[in-house]
Amino acid sequence: MLRQLSLSFIALWLASTATYTVGQKAGSFADGGNTLVSAMMMFMGNEEKMYILDKAEGNAAQVKGHPAWGSVWDFNTHQVEVMDVRTNVFCSSGMHLPNGSYITLGGNGAVGIGGNIGSQFDPTQGTGAWDSVYQDFDGGRSIRVLNPCRSGDNFNDPSCQWFDDPTVLAMQSRRWYSTAEALQDGSVIIIGGFANGGYINRNYPNVDPQFEGGAAVCTYEFFPEKPQTPQTFNFLVQTSGLNAYPHTFLMPSGKLFVQANVSTVLWDANANIETPLPPMPGNVVRVYPASGAVAMLPLTPDNQYNPTIIFCGGSDMPDYNWGNYSWPFIDTWDYPASKDCQRITPEPTDGSTPAYEQDDDMLEGRTMGQFIILPDLTLLVVNGGLNGTAGYSQMTLTTPTFDQMPFGESLASGPVGQPAIYNPKAPKGSRWSNAGFDTSQIARLYHSSAMLLPDASVLIAGSNPNIDVNTSTVFPTQYQAEILYPLYFSAGNRPAPTGMPSKLTYGGNPFDITIPSSSYSGSSNDAANNTMITLIRGGFTTHAMNMGQRAMQLRNTYTVQSDGTIVLHVAQPPPNPYIFQPGPAFLYVVINGIPSNGTYVILGNGQIGPQPTAADSTLPDSIKADASASGSGQESNSSTSATSKTVIIGAVVGGIVLIGLIGGLIGFFVVRRKRASQRKQPSNLEFAMNNSSRFGPGAGAGGADNDGIYQRDMSNAGYPRGHGTGLMRDSDSSAFLPLKHENPSMAWGETPPNLNYDGRVSTPSFRDSEDTYRGPYVPPDDPSKQPRSYSPAPNHRF
Binding site for ligand NAG (CB under 6 A): 97, 99, 101, 145, 147, 200, 202-204, 239-242, 261-262, 319, 322, 324-326, 333-334, 336, 386-387, 397, 408, 413-414, 455, 470, 472-473, 490-491, 494, 496, 529-530, 597, 608, 637, 639, 739-742, 773
CB of 324 to ligand NAG, least distance (A): 4
For residue 39, the one-letter residue type is A
CB of 286 to Cu ion, least distance (A): 16
Strand 231-232 relative to strand 545-547: parallel, antiparallel, unpaired? unpaired
Query: Of the listed pieces 84-92, 211-219, 410-418, 753-761, which binds Cu ion according to CB under 5 A?
Result: 84-92
Which residue's CB is nearer to Cu ion, number 244 or number 587? 244
Buried b (16+ CB within 10 A) or exposed e, 299-318: bbeebebbbbbbbbbbbbbe
Strand 599-603 relative to strand 503-504: parallel, antiparallel, unpaired? parallel
Which residue's CB is nearer to ligand NAG, number 534 or number 693? 534
Binding-site partner at residue 554 among ligand NAG, Cu ion, none, CB < 5 to 8 Å by type: none
Residue nearest to Cu ion (CB): 91
Task: Give pairs for 656-661: CB < 8 Å, separation 24+.
Answer: 658/62, 660/60, 660/62, 661/14
Distances (CA, A) of 622 to 300, 354, 590, 625: 19, 36, 17, 10
The alpha-helical segments, DSSP class H, found in 196-339 are 234-238
Which residue's CB is nearer to Cu ion, number 91 or number 312? 91
Binding-site partner at residue 91 among ligand NAG, Cu ion, none, CB < 5 to 8 Å by type: Cu ion
Which residue's CB is nearer to ligand NAG, number 699 or number 735? 735
List the Cα angle 606/608/609 in 5-degree steps. 110
Q: Which helix (H) or strand (E) holds 218?
A: none
Residue nearest to ligand NAG (CB): 241
Query: Of the listed pieces 88-96, 362-370, 380-388, 691-699, which binds Cu ion according to CB under 5 A?
Result: 88-96
CB of 212 to ligand NAG, least distance (A): 8
For residue 176, the one-letter residue type is W
Is the four-CA dihedral 772, 775, 776, 781 of positive or negative sign?
negative
Helix (H, G, I), strand (E, B) or coil at 323: coil
Half-sphere exposure for 349 (CA within 13 Å, toward CB): 8
For residue 474, the one-letter residue type is V
Which residue's CB is nearer to ligand NAG, number 136 or number 212? 212
Which residue's CB is nearer to ligand NAG, number 480 or number 690? 480
According to DSSP, residue 159 is labeled G
Binding-site partner at residue 456 among ligand NAG, Cu ion, none, CB < 5 to 8 Å by type: none
The alpha-helical segments, DSSP class H, found in 150-233 are none
Query: Of the listed pieces 87-95, 298-306, 396-404, 451-459, which binds Cu ion according to CB under 5 A?
Result: 87-95
CA 532 remoteness from chain centre: 28
Alpha carbon distance, N-terminus to C-terminus of the chain: 45
CA separation for the pair 713, 716 (Å, rounded) = 5
Query: Of the listed pieces 83-91, 300-308, 379-387, 516-524, which binds Cu ion according to CB under 5 A?
Result: 83-91
Binding-site partner at residue 639 among Cu ion, ligand NAG, none, CB < 5 to 8 Å by type: ligand NAG
Please count the residues of this chain forming the interface with Cu ion, following the rule CB under 5 A: 1
Which residue's CB is nearer to ligand NAG, number 239 or number 617? 239
Is the four-CA dihedral 388, 391, 397, 403 of positive or negative sign?
positive
91 binds Cu ion (CB under 5 A): yes
CB of 500 to ligand NAG, least distance (A): 11
Which residue's CB is nearer to ligand NAG, number 219 or number 493? 493
According to the 3-state scheme, what is the secondary structure of 119-151? CEEECCCCEEEECCCCCCECCCCEEEEECCCCC
Which residue's CB is nearer to ligand NAG, number 281 or number 408? 408
According to the 3-state scheme, what is the secondary structure of 86-108? CECCCCCEEEECCCCCEEEECCC
Binding-site partner at residue 204 among ligand NAG, Cu ion, none, CB < 5 to 8 Å by type: ligand NAG
287 binds Cu ion (CB under 5 A): no
Q: Which residues are CB-neighbours of 777 under 8 A, at least 6 positions away? A: 123, 126, 763, 764, 765, 766
Which residue's CB is nearer to ligand NAG, number 294 or number 699? 294
200 binds Cu ion (CB under 5 A): no
Which residue's CB is nearer to Cu ion, number 337 or number 590? 337
In the window 432-451, what residues touch Cu ion (CB under 5 A)? none
CB of 193 to Cu ion, least distance (A): 11
CB of 389 to Cu ion, least distance (A): 12
Judged by the rule CB under 5 A, the positions of this chain that interact with Cu ion are 91
